[in-house]
Amino acid sequence: MPVRRLVMVGPPGVGKGTQAKLISLRRRLPILATGDMLRSAVADKSDLGSKAADYMSRGELVPDDVIIEVVAERLKSTELSSGFLLDGFPRTVPQAQALDKKLSEAGLALDAVLALAAAPSVVIERIAGRLICPNCKSVYHESANPPREAGLCDVCSTPLIVREDDQPEAVRKRLEVYEESTAPLLEYYRSRGIVMEIDATGDVETVYARIEEALGK
Protein backbone atom coordinates (compact mmCIF):
# COMPACT_ATOMS: atom_id res chain seq x y z
CA MET A 1 0.00 0.00 0.00
CA PRO A 2 1.48 3.39 -0.94
CA VAL A 3 1.86 5.90 1.87
CA ARG A 4 -0.91 8.48 1.30
CA ARG A 5 -1.63 10.28 4.57
CA LEU A 6 1.44 12.17 5.60
CA VAL A 7 2.48 14.81 8.10
CA MET A 8 5.72 16.84 8.05
CA VAL A 9 7.22 17.83 11.40
CA GLY A 10 10.42 19.76 12.07
CA PRO A 11 11.76 23.08 13.31
CA PRO A 12 11.02 26.27 11.38
CA GLY A 13 13.35 26.61 8.38
CA VAL A 14 14.40 22.95 8.22
CA GLY A 15 12.91 22.61 4.73
CA LYS A 16 9.43 21.14 5.28
CA GLY A 17 7.69 23.34 2.71
CA THR A 18 10.41 22.77 0.10
CA GLN A 19 10.22 18.99 0.48
CA ALA A 20 6.42 19.00 0.72
CA LYS A 21 6.18 20.61 -2.73
CA LEU A 22 8.38 17.90 -4.26
CA ILE A 23 6.52 15.08 -2.56
CA SER A 24 3.20 16.58 -3.62
CA LEU A 25 4.29 16.91 -7.24
CA ARG A 26 5.93 13.54 -7.54
CA ARG A 27 3.45 11.52 -5.46
CA ARG A 28 0.39 13.52 -6.53
CA LEU A 29 -0.77 14.38 -3.05
CA PRO A 30 -2.52 17.67 -2.21
CA ILE A 31 -0.64 19.84 0.31
CA LEU A 32 -2.31 21.65 3.14
CA ALA A 33 0.23 24.16 4.49
CA THR A 34 -1.26 25.99 7.45
CA GLY A 35 1.43 28.71 7.47
CA ASP A 36 0.68 29.58 3.80
CA MET A 37 -3.05 29.49 4.52
CA LEU A 38 -2.67 31.84 7.47
CA ARG A 39 -0.36 34.26 5.60
CA SER A 40 -2.95 34.48 2.79
CA ALA A 41 -5.67 35.13 5.37
CA VAL A 42 -3.60 37.93 6.92
CA ALA A 43 -2.93 39.48 3.47
CA ASP A 44 -6.66 39.28 2.64
CA LYS A 45 -7.55 40.83 6.02
CA SER A 46 -10.12 38.08 6.54
CA ASP A 47 -11.60 37.19 9.95
CA LEU A 48 -9.12 34.35 10.27
CA GLY A 49 -6.29 36.73 9.34
CA SER A 50 -7.25 39.21 12.01
CA LYS A 51 -7.38 36.42 14.61
CA ALA A 52 -3.95 35.09 13.56
CA ALA A 53 -1.84 38.15 12.63
CA ASP A 54 -0.52 39.19 16.05
CA TYR A 55 0.42 35.66 17.11
CA MET A 56 2.24 35.09 13.83
CA SER A 57 4.26 38.29 13.86
CA ARG A 58 5.41 37.53 17.42
CA GLY A 59 6.43 34.01 16.39
CA GLU A 60 3.81 32.39 18.61
CA LEU A 61 1.32 29.69 17.67
CA VAL A 62 -2.20 30.62 16.68
CA PRO A 63 -4.61 29.15 19.29
CA ASP A 64 -5.45 25.47 18.79
CA ASP A 65 -9.21 26.01 18.46
CA VAL A 66 -8.71 28.52 15.62
CA ILE A 67 -6.36 26.36 13.56
CA ILE A 68 -8.19 23.08 14.24
CA GLU A 69 -11.40 24.58 12.89
CA VAL A 70 -9.66 25.81 9.72
CA VAL A 71 -8.01 22.46 9.02
CA ALA A 72 -11.22 20.55 9.71
CA GLU A 73 -12.96 22.75 7.13
CA ARG A 74 -10.27 22.34 4.46
CA LEU A 75 -9.56 18.64 4.91
CA LYS A 76 -12.54 17.25 3.07
CA SER A 77 -13.55 13.61 2.97
CA THR A 78 -12.05 13.13 -0.52
CA GLU A 79 -8.63 14.18 0.73
CA LEU A 80 -8.97 12.15 3.88
CA SER A 81 -9.61 9.01 1.87
CA SER A 82 -7.44 9.61 -1.21
CA GLY A 83 -4.46 11.17 0.56
CA PHE A 84 -2.93 14.43 1.77
CA LEU A 85 0.28 15.99 2.93
CA LEU A 86 0.12 18.30 5.94
CA ASP A 87 2.88 20.90 6.30
CA GLY A 88 2.84 22.84 9.57
CA PHE A 89 -0.08 20.97 11.15
CA PRO A 90 -0.33 19.48 13.71
CA ARG A 91 2.01 21.57 15.83
CA THR A 92 0.72 20.64 19.29
CA VAL A 93 -0.53 17.44 20.91
CA PRO A 94 -4.16 18.71 21.04
CA GLN A 95 -3.95 19.43 17.27
CA ALA A 96 -2.65 15.89 16.68
CA GLN A 97 -5.48 14.46 18.76
CA ALA A 98 -8.03 16.47 16.75
CA LEU A 99 -6.56 15.14 13.50
CA ASP A 100 -6.61 11.57 14.81
CA LYS A 101 -10.23 11.96 15.81
CA LYS A 102 -11.22 13.25 12.36
CA LEU A 103 -9.36 10.41 10.66
CA SER A 104 -10.66 7.70 12.95
CA GLU A 105 -14.25 8.91 12.43
CA ALA A 106 -13.64 8.12 8.76
CA GLY A 107 -12.08 4.75 9.64
CA LEU A 108 -8.62 6.03 8.65
CA ALA A 109 -5.25 6.74 10.23
CA LEU A 110 -2.04 8.58 9.41
CA ASP A 111 0.45 6.49 7.42
CA ALA A 112 3.63 8.39 8.26
CA VAL A 113 5.14 11.35 10.04
CA LEU A 114 8.26 12.70 8.35
CA ALA A 115 10.44 14.17 11.10
CA LEU A 116 12.98 16.47 9.45
CA ALA A 117 16.02 17.34 11.54
CA ALA A 118 19.11 19.50 11.11
CA ALA A 119 21.52 21.29 13.45
CA PRO A 120 20.34 24.71 14.73
CA SER A 121 23.08 26.47 12.72
CA VAL A 122 21.72 24.93 9.48
CA VAL A 123 18.16 25.93 10.30
CA ILE A 124 19.15 29.50 11.16
CA GLU A 125 21.19 29.81 7.92
CA ARG A 126 18.20 28.62 5.92
CA ILE A 127 15.75 31.00 7.59
CA ALA A 128 18.14 33.94 7.26
CA GLY A 129 18.21 33.59 3.46
CA ARG A 130 14.57 32.69 2.87
CA LEU A 131 12.54 34.65 0.29
CA ILE A 132 8.94 33.81 -0.52
CA CYS A 133 6.51 34.65 -3.28
CA PRO A 134 3.43 36.21 -1.67
CA ASN A 135 1.38 35.19 -4.71
CA CYS A 136 2.11 31.53 -5.57
CA LYS A 137 3.94 30.67 -2.28
CA SER A 138 7.14 29.49 -3.98
CA VAL A 139 10.10 29.48 -1.61
CA TYR A 140 13.67 30.52 -2.47
CA HIS A 141 16.95 30.99 -0.67
CA GLU A 142 19.29 33.89 -1.42
CA SER A 143 22.28 31.62 -2.00
CA ALA A 144 21.15 27.95 -1.87
CA ASN A 145 18.16 28.33 -4.21
CA PRO A 146 18.08 31.82 -5.74
CA PRO A 147 15.43 32.86 -8.28
CA ARG A 148 16.61 33.10 -11.91
CA GLU A 149 16.04 36.86 -11.91
CA ALA A 150 17.04 38.59 -8.65
CA GLY A 151 14.04 39.42 -6.47
CA LEU A 152 11.39 37.94 -8.81
CA CYS A 153 9.45 34.69 -8.60
CA ASP A 154 10.42 32.17 -11.34
CA VAL A 155 6.84 30.94 -11.57
CA CYS A 156 4.75 34.13 -11.61
CA SER A 157 7.29 37.05 -11.70
CA THR A 158 5.84 38.56 -8.49
CA PRO A 159 8.42 40.49 -6.40
CA LEU A 160 9.71 38.22 -3.63
CA ILE A 161 9.46 39.22 0.04
CA VAL A 162 11.07 38.33 3.38
CA ARG A 163 8.56 36.85 5.86
CA GLU A 164 7.80 39.20 8.74
CA ASP A 165 8.43 36.35 11.19
CA ASP A 166 11.85 35.59 9.69
CA GLN A 167 13.28 38.58 11.62
CA PRO A 168 15.71 37.49 14.39
CA GLU A 169 13.43 38.11 17.38
CA ALA A 170 10.48 36.17 15.95
CA VAL A 171 12.83 33.39 14.80
CA ARG A 172 14.17 33.00 18.35
CA LYS A 173 10.62 32.75 19.64
CA ARG A 174 9.59 30.24 16.95
CA LEU A 175 12.52 27.96 17.75
CA GLU A 176 11.60 28.10 21.44
CA VAL A 177 7.94 27.36 20.68
CA TYR A 178 9.02 24.42 18.51
CA GLU A 179 10.98 22.84 21.36
CA GLU A 180 8.23 23.46 23.90
CA SER A 181 5.05 22.68 21.98
CA THR A 182 5.86 20.82 18.77
CA ALA A 183 8.80 18.53 19.57
CA PRO A 184 6.63 16.60 22.12
CA LEU A 185 4.44 15.60 19.19
CA LEU A 186 7.18 13.31 18.00
CA GLU A 187 6.92 11.29 21.20
CA TYR A 188 3.16 11.12 20.71
CA TYR A 189 3.66 9.64 17.22
CA ARG A 190 6.75 7.55 18.00
CA SER A 191 4.74 5.37 20.33
CA ARG A 192 2.75 4.33 17.24
CA GLY A 193 5.80 3.53 15.15
CA ILE A 194 4.91 5.84 12.26
CA VAL A 195 7.74 8.38 12.60
CA MET A 196 10.35 8.40 9.82
CA GLU A 197 13.44 10.30 10.91
CA ILE A 198 14.91 12.26 8.01
CA ASP A 199 18.35 13.88 8.03
CA ALA A 200 17.53 17.26 6.45
CA THR A 201 21.13 18.37 5.87
CA GLY A 202 22.52 18.51 2.34
CA ASP A 203 20.93 19.88 -0.80
CA VAL A 204 17.24 19.67 -1.64
CA GLU A 205 17.48 16.58 -3.88
CA THR A 206 19.68 14.75 -1.36
CA VAL A 207 17.07 15.27 1.34
CA TYR A 208 14.30 14.29 -1.06
CA ALA A 209 16.10 11.04 -1.91
CA ARG A 210 16.21 10.18 1.82
CA ILE A 211 12.47 10.82 2.06
CA GLU A 212 11.73 8.60 -0.94
CA GLU A 213 13.87 5.86 0.53
CA ALA A 214 12.00 6.09 3.83
CA LEU A 215 8.58 6.10 2.20
CA GLY A 216 9.31 3.29 -0.23
CA LYS A 217 6.95 2.58 -3.13
Residues labelled catalytic: 16, 91, 130, 163, 174
Instruction: Give the separation between CA 85 and CA 89, rounded to whole angstroms.
Output: 10
153 binds, among ligand ADP, ligand AMP, none (CB under 5 to 8 A by kind): none
Q: Which of 204, 212, 214, 215 binds ligand ADP (CB under 6 A)?
A: 204
Nearer to ligand ADP, 108 or 183 (CB): 183
55 is a contact residue toward ligand AMP (CB under 6 A):
yes
Question: Alpha-carbon distance 189 to 39, whole Å?
Answer: 28
Judged on CB neighbours under 10 Å (0-12, 13-18, 19+), 201 is: middle
Contact 96, 118 (CB under 8 A): no
Q: Least distance in Å: CB of 135 to ligand AMP? A: 16
Helix extents (H) in 59-92: 64-74, 77-82
- List the one residue from 4, 141, 174, 210 that touches ligand ADP (CB under 6 A): 141
Residues forming contacts to ligand ADP in the complex (CB under 6 A) are 10, 12-18, 126, 129-130, 139-141, 144-145, 203-204, 207
